[in-house]
Amino acid sequence: MRVVIVGAGGHAKVVCDALLASGAAETDIVGFADDNPELAGRMVLGFPVLTGIDSLGLAGSVSLAMGVGDNAARRHLFDSARVLGYTVMTVVHPQAVIGRGCRVGSGTVVLANVVVNADTTVGDNVILNTACSVDHDCFVGAHCHLAPGATVAGGVRIGEETLLGIGSTVMPGLSIGAGCVVGAGAVRLTHLKAGCVAVVFPARFIKQRPGGIRG
Residue 117 has pLDDT above 50, yes or no: yes
Task: Evaluate whether 94 touches 167 at the Cβ level (below 8 Å).
Answer: no
Indicate the pLDDT class of residue 213, thresholds 50, 70 and 90: low
Indicate the pLDDT class of residue 23, thresholds 50, 70 and 90: confident
Comparing 80-84, 121-125, 173-177, 201-205, the range with the smallest average pLDDT is 201-205
Which pLDDT does position 26 carry in this prediction?
58
Which pLDDT does position 25 carry in this prediction?
46
Q: Note the pLDDT tens digit of each residue in 130-141.
A: 999 999 999 999
Return all residues near 70 (Cβ < 8 A) that are at least 6 apart. Answer: none
Residue 27 has pLDDT above 90, yes or no: no
Q: What are phi and psi of 123, to 5 degrees?
A: -75, -170
Indicate the pLDDT class of residue 211, thresholds 50, 70 and 90: low
- 3-state SS class at 195: coil
Residue 200 has pLDDT above 80, yes or no: yes
- CA gap 59, 87 in Å, rounded: 8
Which pLDDT does position 18 carry in this prediction?
96
> Greater confidence, 206 or 57?
57
Beta partners for 2?
28
Model pTM?
A: 0.93
